Amino acid sequence: MIPNRSPWLAQLNRSRPIVPLAEDRAADVAIVGGGIAGAVTAYFTLKNTDSSVVLIEADRVAHGATGHNAGQITSYFERPFESIVREFGLELASEGQRSIESAWGLLDEILADAALRTPVYRFTGYAGCSEFAQLVEHLEENKDRVAAGLAPETILIAKESGWEEALPLFYKDLYAMVPQEDLLALLETEDRRYFACIASQKGCMNSARFTEELMGYLMASYPGRFALFEETPVTRVVLSESHALLHTKPGHTVEARRVVLCTNGFEQFHIENQSGSDIDTNFHHLVQGRIGYMAGYLESMNAAPTAISYFPKGIPETGDPTGETYFYLTRRPHGEDAGEAKNLVCAGGPEQVLPNQALYTREDYCREDVRESLDEFLRTTYHHHPGTGTEYAFCWHGLMGYTPGGLRRIGIEPSNPVLLYNLGCNGVGILPSIFGGKRIARILSGETLERSIFDPVDQRCLT
Ligand SMILES: Cc1cc2nc3c(=O)[nH]c(=O)nc-3n(C[C@H](O)[C@H](O)[C@H](O)COP(=O)(O)OP(=O)(O)OC[C@H]3O[C@@H](n4cnc5c(N)ncnc54)[C@H](O)[C@@H]3O)c2cc1C
């Protein structure tokens, strides 16, 4: 039986006592959820407005998805860019992509401003394709990027693939041909089934440690305007025309002019809208749960940090975590073990759709069969892998909330503007959470913002 043990929580360096809500409180802004979205939303709200902020976390800071992810910083959507263009038009779609990419700069701003010590590694990351159709999908995406005025990604195709002859001429300027040997070196594999590779800017960080450190900074920098309460589940949010009343367990309330849900989508509370149509029913169907599984082992510090994804042949949409899927690995320094500097190599990819109404339990053991499939992927793909019998220091799972459109919800609830959202993990959430935090602070400071692909959908349209 393998317990759910994440490397990010193992390195949290937490020293604060847990302070639950012990009396009724009032604040200008209440934020529900103490993951990276809640922390960054609090940061920009405190920095860019005069509002007081109360942040309420059901468990402990950063112990949700933020503490159980792959820790890869990346700006792609878990949905083809082309389908976003089709839904929203080229201009809005490209603005959405630019927004997520702008979060790299926001991350730098936070790191410098708060003098955070959480390491952030930046590098060019790679994705390997083994099928012609996968290559065409990425070329299409690149074509849309160019049309939208975004920087194209670098696409390399192996000369040995024979794929170039089959490509329409209009893709000609969007790729380069290289010997397969060079491409496999970038993908750090000897698996000769990979014939194309996409290069893009990526990074790695421990988002849990970042969140924990940021909370410490906010508490120290804004003692009169910021308060954090942990182990305080919100059970009910009652919205009126001018304010919200948050009911918590075991019984205290927080009254606020605005409330921002940064709950990743999984909330276990009810929303009662006394000033408009029902929000609760549709809100609770907004997200579908998927459990993501990961494993990691320590190796000598023999190579630089990286992030590589692999698209093997024939990816089925089964939702079966042991079935073939796309896999990814990250490698980054992880301190010392027995006096020797170590890299942490993590692999992920298998996911399981959470059946409707089923409850996810963080304490559940990791699935042995899933760990074995991750081990097999690394053994057969990653050229540094030491082979059979590798000991995995970490094995963990986390809950992702997928919105129907696969896009994060950031903005005002159309049925009652007292309520705002920065939620919807959608598998890639670090940069979107950061961008979302800034956008929410801009709204709270009174700015009127342009429409965006992240705007919450009017719940009344969903009935
Ligand atoms: C397995 C896995 C791998 C991932 N890999 C990556 C990756 O490589 N790169 C990337 O960018 N993203 C990745 N993600 C997504 C990313 O981790 C998340 O999008 C991001 O951490 C979301 O942060 P959050 O603050 O929105 O949610 P969370 O970190 O889940 O925080 C939400 C918080 O709200 C609290 N909460 C919920 N309900 C209540 C309530 N009623 N009262 C009070 N508090 C409440 C929860 O306890 C929780 O702490 C991954 C996610 C998973 C699960």
* pLDDT tens digit sequence for 39-48: 999 999 999 9
459: pLDDT strictly greater than 80: no
229-242: per-residue pLDDT in tens?
999 999 999 999 99
Q: 342 with 298: CB under 8 angstroms? A: yes
Residue burial 411-425, b: 16+ Cβ < 10 Å; e: rest: bbbbbbebbbbbbbb
For ligand 1, whether the C-beta of 35 sits within 6 Å is yes
Say which range, 25-39, 261-275, 352-366, 445-459, has the weakest mean pLDDT: 352-366
What does the mean pLDDT of the chain come to? 91
Q: Please name which of 339, 308, 311, 334 lies closest in space to residue 324, comparing C-alpha atoms.
A: 311
Which ligand 1 atom is at minimum distance from the Cα of 422? 26
For ligand 1, whether the C-beta of 68 sits within 6 Å is yes
388: pLDDT strictly greater than 70: yes
How many whole angstroms separate alpha carbon 406 and alpha carbon 278? 23
Residue 425's pLDDT is: 81
Q: Of 54, 59, 69, 293, which is best to mutate to test ligand 1, by the most ligand atoms within 8 angstroms of its C-beta?
A: 69
What is the dihedral sign for C-alpha 135, 290, 460, 37?
negative
Percent over 70 (pLDDT), the chain: 94
Q: 250 with 23: CB under 8 angstroms? A: no
In this structure, the residue with its CA closest to atom 38 of ligand 1 is 267
For ligand 1, whether the C-beta of 246 sits within 6 Å is no
Residue 387's pLDDT is: 84
pLDDT band of 266, cuts 50, 70, 90: low
Average pLDDT (257-263) is: 96
Q: Please tell me whether residue 390 adopts helix, strand or coil conformation.
A: coil
Q: Of 8, 202, 263, which is best to mutate to test ligand 1, by the most ligand atoms within 8 angstroms of its C-beta?
A: 263
Residue 379's pLDDT is: 92
Say which range, 94-98, 263-267, 402-406, has the weakest mean pLDDT: 263-267
How many whole angstroms separate alpha carbon 75 and alpha carbon 99? 9
Tell me which residue has tokens 């990074």.
Answer: 203
Average pLDDT (109-138) is: 96
285: pLDDT strictly greater than 70: no
For ligand 1, whether the C-beta of 366 sits within 6 Å is no
User: In degrees to the nearest 10, what's the CA dihedral of 389, 310, 371, 212?
Assistant: 110
pLDDT band of 265, cuts 50, 70, 90: confident
What separation in Å is there between the alpha carbon of 6 and the centre of ligand 1? Answer: 14
306-365: per-residue pLDDT in tens?
999 999 886 554 445 444 478 999 999 998 777 889 999 999 988 888 876 677 888 888
For ligand 1, whether the C-beta of 433 sits within 6 Å is yes
Q: 366 with 397: CB under 8 angstroms? A: yes
pLDDT band of 262, cuts 50, 70, 90: very high
Say which range, 55-59, 144-148, 251-255, has the weakest mean pLDDT: 144-148
Average pLDDT (23-37) is: 98
Q: 31 with 56: CB under 8 angstroms? A: yes
Question: Phi and psi for 72 in degrees, rounded to 5?
Answer: -100, 130
CA 287 to each of CA 40, 201, 251, 341, 381: distance values in angstroms, whole numbers, following the listed order = 22, 29, 27, 41, 33
- The secondary structure of 40-68 as a DSSP string is HHHHHHHHHS---EEEE-SS-TT-SGGGS
Report which of residues 147 and 78 the model is more confident about.
Answer: 147
Residue 393 DSSP label: S
Does this model's pTM top 0.85? My answer is yes
Residue 462's pLDDT is: 53
Average pLDDT (372-384) is: 91
Which ligand 1 atom is at minimum distance from the Cα of 61? 49
Average pLDDT (126-146) is: 94
